[in-house]
A and B are shown apart, each in its own frame.
Chain A
């Protein structure tokens, strides 16, 4: 598939593959209202994206990159280590980072450091790190020294402006909830004029790929979410009156499907083939490689044969893939 290699400034020209009961259609996000109905509910993830990539050195001076994935408490983050090099090298081709053990220190600057609290059982590269500062100082350090997580297929380095959705609020996502990139205000307001309701939740979208087979096999990692009571009420009301709940992005599916009785929580839910969707009827998502966990989630919506048709369609129509690529609207097959 063709990679979208730079942020789009033609949001409304982003192509939209629509899968509905009539089959597959080549359309554009600008025409999304034609495929939604008054009374449908669109749910977006309003997490803003933090500069989650920090470059530092271990005690021996070995260069490494830390990608934050989940804040565990005021000073402690779960993180994945990468070896020397930068984003221009694909993650799976990066040299392995030095092996760090509990107590080892990583230095990002003279006064911004973290020490390893524990290794995960999964991989020596997945660690819990405790920073030497907390609260405002920790956030100051992250924003002063961090960069957005980068992608090797991009033409140039992404800045923080490029990885925000127009409705981003709390900085919970370590990578951009990318299905939202094409939603500008003109589109959102026009959907509202067509009677489509819009609601939000916050889901701390984690790392999409690490290049470490053990970690990648286990993706998505634990992520935290918060669903406003009004959003959950809108979901229930929409479904009760026969409307559809359409998630913008896989992170929204994960958050809504993780809802038990708690509106706030940490989810380890894995959604894939055979999973019975309880809250979500449709999904707007980017196009994904078969190996990605995002793709696995799509198997809860449609059969593998339909997914194969979708893949052939996006290949045949030269759709762009990855974070800034074209989108698909997929309704769940009954």
Chain B
């Protein structure tokens, strides 16, 4: 059983939605969480909420899509919370909303989505996985989506970025096999978040999963990560973990 107590956990996109819910859950379970987000107001609010509850949390205002932000993120996180034990690549960009058909999407918008959703996680993995391997222990959780597998009209660039992230997870798992560093992709399900509302403004929130519920499910996955094959793509579900 993977114990999150006293672990240093870096969560990108940590100020709102699923990232915030994960930060609250993991800090309540004894982890020192470091949250990265671009927007400082909601970031500071989440940090204050965790500290009020007696948890340990640190904020880093940064954009994971910016290459020059990577070592400042990882360096500050390790200085404040200790060498990173768990990296949760949760920050995501949909690109311009309302969502556009692929043929109507600007090349620069696609590049920006890839920078946040795929290359940002790659750079963070580059910056933390080596230290994890020397310590023979570490976990990287890449937050994916069913859009990585299904072809939904209008979701093209987001889908492609998440499909690439899933495969990055698999390749990293193969290359780091035997080092003690594990990689998982997790589809949290359709969540009642601002991002989902931006993408599908007509969706009924009552039909969507609460981020807190998804955080509980992902916490269960993290706890049992040692028993899950590295590189697996999982669907977080209240009925337990589904693999696909």
A136-B59 contact given A160-B68, A161-B71, A170-B78, CB 8 Å threshold: yes
CB proximity to A under 8 Å, residues B71-126: 71-72, 74-76, 78-80, 82-84, 126
Q: List 21 A-B contacts (CB under 8 A).
A: A46-B131, A135-B80, A136-B59, A136-B80, A139-B75, A139-B80, A143-B71, A143-B75, A144-B72, A160-B68, A161-B70, A161-B71, A167-B130, A167-B131, A168-B130, A169-B83, A169-B84, A171-B78, A171-B79, A200-B134, A200-B135
CB proximity to A under 8 Å, residues B5-49: none
In the assembled complex, A269 has its CB within 8 A of some CB on chain B: no
Question: How many whole Å from B90's CB to the nearest CB in chain A?
Answer: 20
In the assembled complex, B147 has its CB within 8 A of some CB on chain A: no
Contacts A136-B76, A200-B135 supplied; 11 other A-B pairs, CB < 8 Å: A46-B131, A50-B75, A140-B76, A143-B76, A165-B130, A166-B126, A167-B131, A168-B130, A170-B79, A170-B83, A199-B134
Whether B134 contacts A185 by the Cβ 8 Å rule is no
In the assembled complex, A44 has its CB within 8 A of some CB on chain B: yes
Q: How many residues of B contact A (CB 8 A)?
A: 25
A contact set with B: CB distance below 8 Å: 44, 46, 48, 50, 135-136, 139-140, 143-144, 159-161, 164-171, 185, 198-200
Whether A44 contacts B76 by the Cβ 8 Å rule is no
User: Complex: how many Å from CA A113 to CA B184?
Assistant: 43
User: Complex: how many Å from CA A198 to CA B83?
Assistant: 18
In the assembled complex, B195 has its CB within 8 A of some CB on chain A: no
**Interface residue SS majority, chain B:** helix
Whether B75 contacts A171 by the Cβ 8 Å rule is yes
In the assembled complex, B243 has its CB within 8 A of some CB on chain A: no
Question: How many whole Å from A177's CB to the nearest CB in chain B?
Answer: 13
Whether A46 contacts B134 by the Cβ 8 Å rule is yes
CB proximity to A under 8 Å, residues B190-222: none
Question: How many whole Å from A71's CB to the nearest CB in chain B?
Answer: 9
A160-B72 contact given A44-B134, A169-B134, A200-B134, CB 8 Å threshold: yes
Smallest Cβ-Cβ distance to A192: which chain B residue? B178
B contact set with A: CB distance below 8 Å: 58-60, 67-68, 70-72, 74-76, 78-80, 82-84, 126-127, 130-131, 133-135, 175
Whether B67 contacts A161 by the Cβ 8 Å rule is yes
Question: How many whole Å from B125's CB to the nearest CB in chain A?
Answer: 12
**Interface residue SS majority, chain A:** mixed
Q: Which residues of A contact B67 (CB under 8 A)?
A: 161
Smallest Cβ-Cβ distance to B34: which chain A residue? A136
Whether B133 contacts A167 by the Cβ 8 Å rule is yes
User: Complex: how many Å from CA A166 to CA B74?
Assistant: 13
Smallest Cβ-Cβ distance to A166: which chain B residue? B130
Whether A139 contacts B134 by the Cβ 8 Å rule is no
Other-chain contact of A198, B70, B72, B134, B175 (Cβ < 8 Å): B134
Smallest Cβ-Cβ distance to A44: which chain B residue? B134
User: Complex: how many Å from CA A143 to CA B69?
Assistant: 9
A48-B74 contact given A135-B80, A159-B68, A171-B79, CB 8 Å threshold: yes
User: Complex: how many Å from CA A237 to CA B78?
Assistant: 30
User: Complex: how many Å from CA A193 to CA B2?
Assistant: 27
Question: How many whole Å from A89's CB to the nearest CB in chain B?
Answer: 25
Interface centre among A48, A159, A164, A200 (most CB of B within 10 A): A48
Whether B131 contacts A139 by the Cβ 8 Å rule is no
Q: Which residues of A contact B60 (CB under 8 A)?
A: 140
User: Complex: how many Å from CA A165 to CA B67?
Assistant: 17
